[in-house]
Structure 1
Amino acid sequence: MTSPPAGRDDGSAADPQPLVCDRCGTSAGALADGPPLTWTCSVENGVRRHFCESCSRENLRAIEGRLDSDWW
């Protein structure tokens, strides 16, 4: 759970933040429901990163190569 920014304690939900590909910088715009279904989400060193469809496709083998065998 995150805290609202300092000075803002009105109980409202935080405004959706724009989603940007961590590799190429492509923007998916401000999304309230999460990334588009075609984007990839990765947790690297405890940090959640999102990758657009193009970057995900271009790097699919590298992504799969890091998965534990339980995933494939």
Structure 2
Amino acid sequence: MDEETRHPTGPDTEHPVCARCGVTAAGDTPPATWACSVEDGRRQYFCEDCARTGIRAIESRLDSDRW
């Protein structure tokens, strides 16, 4: 639990990179509008556009009374 959080970075940058489309965040931390997921023990970030696309795909599979 005392381990330092490591953020995914691009090949030549210290900035977080979207795991789906590869866009790089402007700062050294992902913007609040980005989504974060831990998959197979790895933290991945998704830019706002990719996060919205994923959320819409999930919502489209739900019955309308669920959302």
Q: Which has the higher strand share?
A: 1
Fold match (TM-score > 0.5): yes
Q: Which residue of 1 aligns with 2:15?
A: 18
Percent identity of the aligned residues? 51
In structure 1, the gaps of 5 or more residues are: 3-15, 65-72
The whole-number CA distance in structure 2 between the counterparts of 1:40 and 1:17 is 18
Could you tell me the TM-score, scaled by structure 2's length?
Answer: 0.61
1:1-72 to 2 correspondences below 5 Å:
1=3, 17-31=14-28, 34-62=29-57
RMSD: 2.2
**Aligned length, in residue pairs:** 49
Provide the TM-score with structure 1 as the length reference. Answer: 0.57
- Which 4+ runs in 1 deviate beyond 3 A? 61-64
The whole-number CA distance in structure 2 between the counterparts of 1:17 and 1:43 is: 19
